Amino acid sequence: MRVAMYYNNRDVRLEEMPTPKIGPDELLVRVIASGICGSDVMEWYRLKRAPLVLGHEIAGEIAAVGEDVKRYRKGDRVFVSHHVPCNTCHYCLNDHHTICDTLHNTNFDPGGFAEYIRVPKINVDRGVFVLPDEVSFDEGVLIEPLACVVRGQRIAHLEHGQSVLVIGSGVAGLLHIQLARSTGAGRVVATDITDYRMKAARRFGADLAMHAEEDVPMLLRQVNDGRGADLVIVCTGATKAVLQAIQSVDRGGTILLFAPAEPGVSIPIQPNDIWSRGITITTTYAGSPKDISIAIELIRNHRIDVRKMITHRLGLAEAGLGFQLVSGADDSLKVIIEPQR
């Protein structure tokens, strides 16, 4: 089968490798659509494992079913979660599924930028979701990133009527804007460093979108009744963004660090400033099976419009162009690779 082999953001090669063989408890899924995630182009994270086949936002159809698998049939349209939790450890039992050791050590084989993937037994058990008829394969690609966003806002305890500032209006930021708006947030403000994404933020529901280099805390207070935001969601790993979040959050508010920073990055924070203002700083990673189920329903019911976020659909041979588009972060939002093209 054909795969897009990742060497670095500027070197993604179309190569051949054997189609995976499945065991009696496994599935073979024909990948129809696979999204390029912002994390796929974080070279500091990916290069140490390269060359490899990336791709974890996938939707496809079951091509073969192991003899012991009873819940799924050949031809089923599915979303497959690459990471799955054990559901029995201390962390899972306390709703921290995404820091479970099992979740961090599971994956499908080889990756979503391939014509086929093998779904291991544990993923078959708790990571395969049949797509509703109302959800297309393209929309299915956005299930995984939306699940991450669902978990983030759940962890941050966003409440009806609260004001929200989203720092960084890439795909994750736009999903945060839509979800906050759909769940009854009050004023929603967004920032970015490109005009293209600021326009996208307004298009997807932000009341105001401003350049991140402006005086964001001041402008926010001008449109938010003199207050900072109840919830600030940081969708970039830039140090300036975190400092800006601290300056922009209201007393008693919450900062959600949604994106990772590069290893070794330190951010100077005055603890007394956080303490005296009653600020909560929290983080989130990935999505749990519960968050995935919620994301599927949000897409099925059209409460979150993911279709208009798709700007590029490329064949497997064009995956290199897709990585350049995503890493450039200029005139693209969600880039989808279609391995069967």
Q: What domains can you pick out in the chain, each with its CATH number?
A: 2-144+287-338 (3.90.180.10), 157-283 (3.40.50.720)
For CA atoms 251, 257, 261, 264, give the dihedral sign: positive
Q: What is the pLDDT of residue 25?
A: 98
Output 98-102 pairs: Cβ under 8 A, ≥24 positions apart: 98/151, 98/284, 98/285, 98/286, 98/287, 98/288, 99/285
Q: Are 1 and 315 in contact (CB under 8 A)?
A: no
Separation CA 135–CA 140 (nearest Å): 6
Among candidates 332, 317, 313, which has minimal Cα distance to 33?
313
Which residues are 64's β-sheet partners? 28
Q: What is the pLDDT of residue 195?
A: 96
Residue identified by tokens 């979108």 is 209
Separation CA 172–CA 204 (nearest Å): 12
Secondary structure (DSSP) of 173-224 = HHHHHHHHHHTT-S-EEEEESSHHHHHHHHHTT-SEEEETTS-HHHHHHHHT
Predicted TM-score (pTM) of the model is 0.97
H-state helical runs in the chain:
43-46, 90-93, 121-126, 137-141, 143-155, 171-182, 195-203, 216-223, 239-248, 271-277, 289-300, 319-328
The token duo for 58 is 């996938």
Separation CA 26–CA 238 (nearest Å): 40
pLDDT along the chain (341 residues), means of 10: 98 98 98 97 94 98 98 98 98 97 97 98 98 98 98 97 98 98 96 97 98 97 97 96 97 97 89 95 96 98 96 98 93 97 92
Separation CA 9–CA 30 (nearest Å): 25
Q: What is the pLDDT of residue 269?
A: 87
